[in-house]
A and B are shown apart, each in its own frame.
Chain A
């Protein structure tokens, strides 16, 4: 089980109490809330925007906006999806504005990953190959995968990150992105197909 699943198990533990205390302006509760979600928000933003500095800034913007507007949170959805809605919207708007959707040069990456050529494709194709978790932990390969995600279209990237990395359900993704569940399904399918094609292109 990944660290994300552990986070998911704890995500709603004290959310209601934390939100109430934050609404009363308690700094300790705010700190607790930030610590609880900062890594997940940061990673989601980073996977979408593809830049660590931007991700750090956007994460900070997200928590500032969430805490500033927490008084208006009406509990119509879970705090978790509400917060991610803020994060994803900020990120997508930022990426669109700065045209930083594909900041990494894949040509340079290809040269460095020449020795790993075909390794990931073979791994994907071989059911008896290495453990996928072990593959993902290889630094160069993981960086390649993240960069390839950055080549996806903005809508596909967001839905893929929320589902396959953040492990959200279809309903939660629909709530975060404010789209229909059917749209989530179709976008996710196309995102996975495009990612596989991109990885094959890069690695073969």
Chain B
């Protein structure tokens, strides 16, 4: 019998002695028994050996055991009951907290980094202490009475011009996109407070008159796409306003440069009188066939992300210069 077979035989007999043999092992034993009857004798010897071990006399523990144990326990803290749910592993609670904190850190760190990156992208450029008036107090709530924006004071506005340039068009989205592109190109994003809702858009720009003039110049291509272009010159000190219909870019530039309130009102009145019977020379009705071509020739109306870092530094507004306020309003007009 090989060593392996011998070990297997011993394990088989041991399992039979303990009555732990499987059915397969019992069948194997019966099969082996047919070939070697001495196996039964081996099983009997193992059974008697087990019986002898199980019948060995039992020694009593020392009588002083209880007293000795209790006296040793008295010298040590009395065991405190521990809730069944508390883990017995030493430091398990500490380990759990470490895992929680590690997980939280792993989650918060990327969020923090991402937030910082997003903030760096969208934060306005630091070109000076520009205080933006709220849109709600500006054009959005303008009711034509001339009292609009009474709460929307503009910092460093030392020149009297305060105008609302209104483009009424059938393509307000196109005009708005173009206006935004021009505002960006002129480096006026940081001093512009945009508000787009549905088909209408407003851009409140507070900048030096030279910048406003350049912007208005750049917007001259908008006129052909509008059915009405009007300028409303607001005089908050007198609580009045002058509406100039069919206003021209040159008129706006002159008004923006004017430093005398009286002269401003006078010029506005003259322009209003001169323009009141004049049709918009660039109105769509005059050149309906060219509309689509003009739009194609316009610069692409892709709206750049207004980051201060990407804005051309040469166009940055110097907040120490006197400023005027121009509010550009784009509205949809129906046929």
Contacts and interface: CB of A to CB of B under 8 A. Distances in A.
Interface of A: 2-4, 20, 22-25, 27, 30-31, 34-35, 38-39, 41-43, 46-47, 52, 56, 59-60, 63-64, 67-75, 123-125, 127, 132-133, 135-137, 139, 142, 145-146, 149, 160, 163-165, 167, 170, 185-186, 188-190, 192-193, 195-196, 199
Given A39-B58, A75-B84, A136 B10 contact: no
B51 interface: yes
8 contacts: A42-B62, A71-B82, A136-B54, A145-B56, A163-B18, A164-B50, A185-B11, A185-B20
B73 A67 contact: yes
B70 A27 contact: yes
A2 B52 CA distance: 11
B45 A196 contact: yes
B50 to A, nearest CB: 5
Nearest to B20: A170
B213 to A, nearest CB: 83
A127 to B, nearest CB: 5
A136 B79 CA distance: 41
A135 B45 contact: no
Nearest to B90: A72
B7 A190 contact: yes
Contacts of A20: 81
Given A4-B58, A30-B70, 5 more contacts: A23-B80, A34-B66, A74-B84, A189-B10, A192-B46
Q: Which size class do B's interface residues fall under?
A: 35 or more
Interface of B: 7, 10-11, 13-15, 17-18, 20, 41, 44-46, 48-62, 65-66, 68-70, 72-73, 76, 78-82, 84, 86-88
Given A68-B73, A71-B80, A189 B7 contact: yes
A19 to B, nearest CB: 10
Given A3-B58, A64-B72, A56 B65 contact: yes
Contact of A135 (B52, B58, B60, B65): B52
Contacts of A149: 53
B73 A23 contact: no
B78 A25 contact: yes
Given A67-B69, A136-B56, A185 B51 contact: no
Nearest to A3: B58
B10 A190 contact: yes
A162 to B, nearest CB: 11
A196 B46 contact: yes
A76 to B, nearest CB: 9
Contact of A30 (B20, B59, B73): B73
**CB-based closest 8 A-B pairs:** A132-B51, A42-B61, A133-B55, A136-B55, A189-B14, A164-B53, A23-B81, A38-B61
A71 B79 contact: yes
A103 B68 CA distance: 26
Contacts of B76: 68
B82 A39 contact: no
Contacts of A3: 58
A158 to B, nearest CB: 14
Contact of A132 (B20, B52, B84): B52
B54 A39 contact: no
A68 B79 contact: yes
